[in-house]
């Protein structure tokens, strides 16, 4: 009889152990998923890709080097920067800009031959975009400036992306 009573006691304690383990697992998993969601939200807010592919990142199509032609604005451009609040000095940016063009793109035949003729248009776009930034903003936002210039140039070509990149070969702030 003592053996049966002891077996029943062990069986009851086993059930209690299983129930407590289940409750513990449930609370740990919910807390873990909430923590993962918060980390993911913070990463998305500061645009960090955690390797899961969930952050907002642009993926550019790879253009082979033999299909890339560059058009460079021949002279360095000097652009007056927007004055910062409380700053009495005028600041400038000297920049050399070039555009990367995909020679195998379907629109290259239509627009590619006339890219050099549109230099004044490119200068105007570069000037408008860069002059909208203060000295400090321009220093830290060069990638943003390049994206904005590229977007405006592509808009001028009816949304065509045969010009797929804008680069600064030399940029100096004063």
Residues above pLDDT 90, as percent of the chain: 21
Kindly state the tokens that stand for 95. Answer: 């920049």
Q: What is the distance between the alpha carbons of residues 68 and 102, in angstroms, rounded to a whole number? A: 5
Q: Torsion angle of alpha carbons 38, 40, 45, 49, nearest 10°? A: 160
pLDDT in tens, 72-118: 888 888 898 888 888 778 888 899 999 988 888 888 888 887 888 88
Domain spans of the chain, in order of start: 1-57, 65-173
pLDDT in tens, 35-46: 888 887 777 777
Report the length, in residues, of the chain.
Answer: 174
Q: What is the distance between the alpha carbons of residues 66 and 127, in angstroms, rounded to a whole number? A: 30
pLDDT in tens, 146-172: 999 999 988 888 888 888 899 988 888
E-assigned strands of 40-147? 68-72, 77-80, 92-102
CATH superfamily entry for domain 65-173: Band 7 domain (3.30.479.30)
Average pLDDT in the chain: 83
């Amino acid at each position: 009889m003592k053996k049966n009573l002891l077996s029943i006691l062990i069986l009851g304690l086993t059930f209690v152990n299983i129930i407590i383990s289940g409750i513990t697992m449930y609370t740990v998993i919910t807390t873990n998923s909430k923590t993962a969601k918060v980390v993911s939200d913070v990463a998305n807010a500061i645009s960090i890709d955690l390797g899961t592919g969930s952050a907002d990142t642009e993926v550019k199509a790879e253009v082979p080097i033999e299909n890339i032609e560059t058009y460079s604005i021949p002279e360095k451009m000097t652009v007056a920067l927007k004055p910062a609040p409380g700053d009495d000095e005028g600041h400038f940016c000297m920049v050399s800009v070039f555009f990367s063009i995909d020679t195998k793109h379907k629109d290259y035949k239509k627009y590619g031959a006339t890219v050099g003729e549109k230099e004044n248009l490119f200068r105007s776009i570069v000037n408008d975009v860069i002059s909208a930034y203060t000295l400090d903003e321009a220093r830290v936002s060069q990638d943003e400036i390049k994206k904005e210039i590229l977007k405006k140039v592509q808009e001028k070509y009816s949304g065509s992306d045969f010009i797929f990149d804008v680069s600064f070969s030399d940029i100096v702030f004063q």
